[in-house]
Amino acid sequence: MAKIIVVTSGKGGVGKTTSSAAIGTGLALSGHKTVIVDFDIGLRNLDLIMGCERRVVYDFVNVINGEANLKQTLIKDKRVENLFILPASQTRDKDALTKEGVEKVLNELAKDFEFIICDSPAGIEAGAMMALYFADEAVVVTNPEVSSVRDSDRILGMLSSKSRRAERNEDAIKEHLLLTRYNPERVAKGEMLSVEDVQEILAIPLIGVIPESQAVLNASNSGQPVTLDQESDAGQAYLDTVSRLLGNNVDFRFLTVEKKGLLKRIFGG
Amino acid sequence: MSLLDYFRSTKKKTASTAKERLQIIVAHERNRRSGPDYLPQLERDILEVIRKYVDIPADQISVSLEQRSDELSVLELNVSFPDEKR
């Protein structure tokens, strides 16, 4: 039985697509057949982050409308075994995704894949609602910053009231907090909300903390999911996150500032 | 914190301000979410009625519905009137 995981946040620009790409790639690296589905109709970007933008022929909406089948549309990753991408369309029609259509496609994917990662668009409009509707689990991507935390809380409200599981009175969607752009130095200075602060406000279990890192922009510049950069702090933090998603108990890393020498301690810097 | 920082003024850190503001607004919004859809409109209507008599700002009124048991819900209305002595 495939597990459907939505990567969502409410607020834009917090790292949903980066996280979808990194987590999907990590799951495939661990040997699980995974597809990442771009739900951002009209503003597709997952293809660019995954580095397969020139291989898009058909898209999600084509499949729903019966203009292409899944086999023609899915893009197989050239670097990682077991990894596929379903690109969003560039059409501006935001009503292109119907509940019935999405359900049909997800059911078909579920026959073939272990994990279906739904990369949600920002906001709380139809596209974001569609991305979370069928989910079994949710990764709520949050920056340690007031507007992101507030929007995450709104999305948590949606997850518990507007999903299929909520409508059918089934077990609630399993929620996970993924804190991204975390800067331990600023936290230590009292300039940034800490992991504990955000956790206390949102009150959901923590699945990962991704440090603010040069590696993320470098990865997106070159169309490589950051989990492929296993030397980098962000890549390692995402791999830890994936391991926790798979049920392993992994210690959190990159939460504290590296120890400074005595001179630096005295004179700051 | 470095030694130099130690002698600088100990102004309140912005992160703790952020946390306090978030705790308040998130609690407020959760409360509102859990209530019925008509609550915000009810709040506006009550505010309009009171404003016919006393000029109060919009944030001086709060309406919440609390489910006490299966048969009993209590509508709680809180209005702060402005200071009269001036």
**What is the average pLDDT value for chain A, to the nearest integer?**
93
Full domain range(s) for residue B44: 20-30+37-81
Closest Cα of chain B to A162: distance in Å?
A: 12
Task: Give yes or no for residue B2 having a pLDDT over 70.
Answer: no
Cβ–Cβ gap B5/A268 under 8 Å: yes
Cα A70 to the center of its chain, rounded Å = 22
A21-42 per-residue burial string, b: 16 or more CB within 10 A, e: under 16: bbbbbbbbbbebebbbbbbbbe
| CATH number, domain containing residue B74 | 3.30.1070.10
Q: Considering the domain boundaries, does residue B43 fall inside one?
A: yes
- For residue A40, which phi and psi values (nearest 5 degrees)? -85, 75
Q: Is A242 helix (H, G, I), strand (E, B) or coil?
A: helix
CA of A197 vs chain B CAs: smallest distance (Å): 7
Would residue B10 count as lying in a domain?
A: no
Nearest CA in chain A to B13: A190
Does residue B41 fall inside a structural domain?
Answer: yes
CA-CA-CA-CA dihedral for A74, A76, A77, A83, to nearest 10: 80
pLDDT at B9: 54
CA-nearest of A4, A27, A1, A15 to A133 is A4
Three-state secondary-structure class, residue A137: strand
Determine, yes or no, domain membership for B3.
Answer: no
Q: Alpha carbon of A29 to those of A71, A94, A224: distances in Å?
A: 22, 33, 14
Q: Is the ipTM of this complex over 0.90?
A: no
**Predicted structure pTM score:** 0.85
Interstrand relation of A115-119 and A75-76 (parallel, antiparallel or unpaired): unpaired
Residue B85 clears pLDDT 60, i.e. is over it: no
A54-90 residue pLDDT tens:
999 999 999 999 999 999 999 999 999 999 999 998 8
Concatenate the DSSP letters of all residues of B9-74 into one string.
--PPPHHHHHHHHHHHHHHHHHHHHHS-TTHHHHHHHHHHHHHTTS---GGGEEEEEEE-SSS-EE
Contact assignment for B2 to A157 by CB distance below 8 Å: no
Interface test with A, best of B22, B23, B31, B34 (most A CBs within 10 A): B22
- Please name which of A5, A8, A208, A249 lies closest in space to residue A113, comparing C-alpha atoms: A5
Q: Which B residues 21-50 touch A at CB under 8 Å?
A: 21-23, 25-26, 29-30, 33
| Among A143, A150, A187, the residue to mutate for chain B (most B Cβ within 10 A) | A150
Residue of A161, A197, A267 lying closest to B2 (CB–CB)? A267
- Inter-CA distances, B18 with A147, B26, B28, B42, Å: 10, 12, 15, 30
Q: Could you read off the pLDDT of A168-222 as tens digits, one per residue? A: 999 999 999 999 999 999 999 999 999 999 999 999 999 999 999 999 999 999 9
> Is residue B24, in this structure, part of any structural domain at all?
yes
Residues of chain B found within 8 Å of residue A145, distances taken between Cβ atoms: 18
What is the domain count for chain B? Answer: 1
Burial class (CB in 10 A: 0-12, 13-18, 19+), A81: exposed
pLDDT of amino acid A94: 63
Q: Is it the case that residue B77 has pLDDT exceeding 80?
A: yes
What's at B37, amino acid-wise? Answer: D
Q: Which pairing describes strands A75-76 and A3-8: parallel, antiparallel, or unpaired? A: unpaired
Please check whether residue B13 lies inside any domain of the structure: no
Q: A124 to chain B: which residues are within 8 Å by CB?
A: none
φ/ψ of residue A209, rounded to 5: -130, 120
Are the Cβ atoms of A268 and B19 closer than 8 angstroms?
A: no
The pLDDT score that the predictor gives to residue B6 is 58
Query: Does a structural domain hold residue B2?
Result: no
Mark yes or no for CB contact A266/B3 under 8 Å. Answer: yes
Residue B56 lies in a domain: yes
| Other beta carbons within 10 Å of A266 | 12
